[in-house]
Each structure stands twice: as C-alpha cells, then as structure tokens.
Structure 1
C-alpha cells in the first residue's frame, strides 16, 4: 500500500509539474520578409529565441546588447538555426543614457526601417545603480527602454504599420508606483515589481499617444522562464533557483511564444495597449489600468531622461 501511495503521489506530482509548464504556442506563421526587427538583450534567453523565430519568418533581425562577444556568438547561432544571414548586432548599454542616444543615432543612420521594436532586456532584483544614478531595475527596465522607444518613434511611424512590444512580469501586482520616490531602491524585489508595473503604464500611454498613427504597442508577461537572470546572485542562490526553475519554469523557447504572437499576429492589432500572456490578452489589476497614472509616469520619465534633448 505504501509503495502504491508513493507511486501515485509521484505520478500526480509529475503531472502537476508538466501542467505548470504547458504554454500555448504561436501558431501564426506569417512571413516578415522586408521587415526590420530590433530586440534589446537578444543574445540569450527569451530575446534570443524570439530572434530565431522572427529570423525564420524572414525578418532582418538586429539584436542590441552590451556584451559584444556574447552578441557575436549569439548572431552566429541564430544564423545557423534560422538558415539566414540577415541577423546583426549593435552595441547598447541600457544602464547608460549616453549609450542609448549614441545607439539610436547610429541605428537611424544605418537602418531605413523599423517595423518591430521588442523591449526585451531587463535587470532582475538587484541593489545597484545605473551610470546616471537611477536604480538599476527602474533605470534599465523602464527608463532605458522609454528613451530608446522615444528616440526611435519617428522611424517606427515612418515604417507603419509597426509595433512596440515590451516585456513585463506578473510581479507588477505586488507594488504600486510612488511618484515621490520613483527611483526607489530599498528592497530590490519591490524595485523590480515597480519597474514591471512601469512597463505596463508605458505601453498603455504609448498606445494612446500613437493611436491612428500606425504604431501599436503591447506588453507581454512571458511566464516564469528558465533564463540566465540568476547570474547576478550568489552561487548558493543560483543552485537553489536552478532546481526550482527546472521543476516549475518554462523554457526560453516557450517563454518567447507570446512575444512572437504579438509581433506577427493580426489578431492583436485592435488591442493596442493590451497586456498579453500565453498568446492571448489577459486581465490586469484595476490599479494597473489607471490612465492618469500612466500619463503622469510618462511626463515624469520625460523630465528624467529628456528624450527631446
């Protein structure tokens, strides 16, 4: 009897874990020939898998990364898997506003189109600061992509219909923004949550501002993914998280599916400003749909990074 109970419990646990890791696949195989895609942090994880999927569909893919050596290796691998040579990389450091401005200047000189911008790169819960004295999570996850998108918005409009996809996380629900301290950096996990909430407000306000101008915007929660984010932490933490991720988290390829869906599907076009997970729109907490807060954050972000400067 004990043996049967053990076997039954093991089977139930196995099936539960399998169920936890099931994700919808993007079934839309629409080609992207002639389209240019820019992906931040595309040298690994979800970004790299997204790059592969869109390169396979014929897009010209540019991955923007800080680590040149890692980016060059990723480009070679993406080319091999996607059987295309139309994959490139450019240097950017989202923790440095000057680097972002230099990147955009070079990009606009080189590239005549930008059809899909994927704001994928992100910093996990770390207690650190950017070169411009912003908390690392808020500075990279929100302000860096805010500045990048604003500086490239003209090219996105010229290439319309175009799309902006920003990766967020369901952890947004654990915090609200404090406009007296947007640069909050006391508890790293809370800082991360706030940055992910900022991604959602940013997407909503961007959708409002570009309505009728051929640019649509979406934010995506990819699920909890087996990526390399633990590299910022201690060895013990990495070991523990590797076990947890193996048991409960999905692969990077599975995590990229909703990003790819929002990049290629015609079904999402009327849903600009929406929040997506598992290749379909999902509900947000009421406080995350406050258009007044979204607009206030946009104005505050403009004051912080001065995109028009």
Structure 2
C-alpha cells in the first residue's frame, strides 16, 4: 500500500494540508482586500515627524514605518508607560534610535500648550505633523463625557486639541526648506456629519444617537479644518505648510475602547471572526498616512482628501466654506488660541525657562 492511500495520509496529512491551505487563502484574501500599500519608497532621513496617539493602532504603525525610513519620530501620547514600551519596540524593529516620547492629553488644552513648549525647546523644525489620535463614542465609567475644559470629549479631542496643537506649531512647520506637512486622520463618517456652531454639543439628541452624531461632527470638523488651514497657507503663510486629510478605512484599533457597554462587548466578541475579515489591520490602515508623510511628489499637494493612497477630492469641493470659516473662528475662541500663541512667542523671545512636563526622551536605550 502506498503512503498516499494509507490511513495516516487520509486521516492526518489531508486534513492538515486542507486547513493550512484554507488559512493561507484567508490571509492572502485579507491582504488583497485590505487596501493599497504605500507606493512610495522615499527615505525620510533627517526629517522630524510628530504623531499623536502613536502608542497603539494606526499611529503606532505609522510611527514604525516612518522610523524605518530614518526620520526622527516623536510619539505624542497620554499613557507614558505604553508610550515608552512602544518607543522601545519601534527602536528595535526599525534600528532607529531617534524615537522619542512626550506627554500630551488632547482633552486638556493646557496640556497641549505645555507639550508645544517641550517640542519648541527640543526641535527647531517639524517636517510632518500627523494628527492621528481620536476617541469614539466615550461612555462612563470608562471615561468622562467631557474634556477637562468642558467640551464634549469627541469634539474636544478629535478637533479642538489638534486644532490648537497645529496652530501652536506653525512656526516650526513653516520654517524649513520644504513646506511642513499636516495630516489629519478623519473618516468617511464625515459625510454624515453636521456642524452647528450654536449647538455644538447637540443637546437636543439623547443616548447613543447623540454620541454617534457627535462623532460624525468631529470627523467633519477634521475636514473643515483641513480646508481652512490649506486656504490660509496659500493666502497668509506663503505656501509654507500643506494640509491634507486621510480616511484610514475601518480598522481593528482601540478607538472604541471607551465605548464598551455590556451588549456592545458581547457583540464585539461574537462577531470577531467576521470583523477580522471585514476590517483592515492597523498596518493596512496606516498606509495612506505613511504615503502622505513620505512621498516627495506630494510636497506641494494641499487641501485634499486621500483614501487608499489616492487623492479622492479637494476639500474645497467637499465643504461648506462659510461653515468652515465659522468653525475656525469659534475654535480660535474656544481654545483661546491668540493668547496662547502670544504667550509662547513672548516666552521664546525672553529666553525664560519653560516648564517641562514628563517625557521619556532617551533615544539611546533599547
């Protein structure tokens, strides 16, 4: 009897071979349907890249790839223990020791200001700012519904924190040989959003419906912010900064970790096999952010919405310009932007010591 016709072959080898082929096919299918890989191989040696929410998910994968390309990478995170562990991992994987941690809590505008002070002391120039951090449908007791400054948390973190951060860093973003790049990570959920300056909290809505609409609003705010900053760069900043937004797609990340309620948790575990196939991995979802950060051909591209490493549309064609300007002006007031900018510039002129918060900047340990 030949081995192929033996009981061992039929009972052991065939099932193992079939299972391996099945799993291999599933992985290949997932890779194929997970979107395009960044088409650019451009290096980033000597560039300085700052990424918020970089200790996990899409931000971590973005940081990892950019570090492999030789850039100085600054991880802006709220959980310093996780940030430090991520920095060590990225240094080891990329063989790049220039990966630094800094504390920032986008739900606290004073924290954002202190973070900028640290960065200004450490870096004369920022080449790329990736506004990646975000929160979705936060609920008690996982977190508080509002930021420390009293704003609804999704709007405060997803929009206001990044709005303030970007504007306070404009001096560093606009003083280089090439235009500084601002990348806002949004979502195609922006299409369902509506910004009402007079009811930014959407108090007429209740429960999950309110949280969902507030999330849509925050993602639309990212797109509106992209449009106005791009317009102002052309008009007032001598085209020294570009601003584009990206849709990473639906991915397995921790953005919904504060949304857990019993039924939601049960659903997450029940449908994990299906969502595993349907959702992108963080690495796949990070490809468009990586592309916008590194590709030299995009040096002067601004005011655009990118999806799957391709430009989809200009934000001027996607946005109500009047609403965008109203949101910008309101955001200036809500963040006390002008006063914060003046204080930072006065401090820089005086050369006075600045209050440096917690950071793990030792880039020589691995």
Q: Decide which of 162, 167, 175 is 1:158's aligned counterpart.
A: 175
Matched residues in 2 for 1:288 and 1:258: separation? 19
Higher mean C-alpha deviation, range 99-108 or range 285-294: 285-294
Question: Kindly tell me: are residues 283 and 243 of structure 1, through their superposed partners in 2, closer, same or farther at Cα, counting changes over 3 Å?
Answer: farther
Matched residues in 2 for 1:228 and 1:194: separation? 20
Q: Which residue of 2 aligns with 1:126?
A: 138
Instruction: Provide structure 1 residue ranges, at least 5 long, that are not aligned to the other structure.
Output: 1-9
Higher mean C-alpha deviation, range 229-238 or range 58-67: 229-238
Question: Kindly tell me: are residues 285 and 94 of structure 1, through their superposed partners in 2, closer, same or farther at Cα, counting changes over 3 Å?
Answer: closer
Q: Is the contact made by 2:107 and 2:153 (CA closer than 8 Å) also made in structure 1?
A: yes
Question: Kindly tell me: are residues 57 and 286 of structure 1, through their superposed partners in 2, closer, same or farther at Cα, counting changes over 3 Å?
Answer: closer
Q: Which residue of 2 aligns with 1:174?
A: 192
Q: Does 1:206 align with 2:229?
A: yes
Instruction: Provide structure 2 residue ranges, at least 5 long, that are not aligned to the other structure.
Output: 1-21, 140-144, 340-366
Q: Decide which of 138, 149, 158 is 1:141's aligned counterpart.
A: 158
Counterpart secondary structure, 2:174: helix
Instruction: Work out which of the two has the higher radius of gyration on C-alpha atoms and give 1 or 2.
Output: 2
> What TM-score does the superposition give when structure 1 sets the normalisation length?
0.90
Superposition pairs for residues 126-275 of structure 1, below 5 Å?
Answer: 126-127=138-139, 128-159=145-176, 160-184=178-202, 186=205, 187-211=210-234, 212-232=238-258, 233-234=260-261, 235-240=265-270, 242-275=272-305
Q: Is the contact made by 2:54 and 2:76 (CA closer than 8 Å) also made in structure 1?
A: yes
Matched residues in 2 for 1:255 and 1:131: separation? 30
* Structure 1 position 294, deviation (Å): 1.3
Matched residues in 1 for 2:133 and 2:164: separation? 14
Question: Kindly tell me: are residues 285 and 156 of structure 1, through their superposed partners in 2, closer, same or farther at Cα, counting changes over 3 Å?
Answer: closer
Q: Count the aligned residue pairs.
A: 298
Matched residues in 2 for 1:210 and 1:42: separation? 26
Matched residues in 2 for 1:19 and 1:176: separation? 34
Q: Is the contact made by 1:35 and 1:60 (CA closer than 8 Å) also made in structure 2?
A: yes
